[in-house]
Amino acid sequence: MKQIIIFMSFISMLFGTAQNAALKVLPVDEYKTQIEKGKVQLVDVRTPNDYNSGHIKNAKNIDFFAASFESQFEKLNKEKPLYIYCRSGARSRKAASKLSAMGFTEIYDLKGGYLNWK
């Protein structure tokens, strides 16, 4: 039994299925309403090429795969809500795990990513 629990924990960690208390995935309409309320920390974690081919207005681009990913996020306020998105939602969930470990306490992800935004 203990081996099964360890194995399932490993699988959850590997595929990111474990719950992240700091992360809340929002449907497009709610996400849009939240970011339109005012000045928010809005970050696109896709590559610069993806970002340049289209992005949400006022989003800052911080590439999840860049070596500077963590140092760029260190410049943001960890106490304020952070809105992130990627192409489909998978990369932003991985980013949310990293960001939560860095101390961000309120992270909102766009359900379905930018593909769902259009």
46 carries an active-site annotation:
no
Q: Which of 86, 95, 99, 110 is catalytic?
A: 86
Structure tokens at 82: 């952070």
Q: Where are the alpha helices (DSSP H) in the chain?
A: 2-15, 28-36, 48-52, 69-73, 90-102, 113-117
- Tokens 């497009």 belong to which residue? 28
Structure tokens at 30: 């709610």
Active site residues: 86
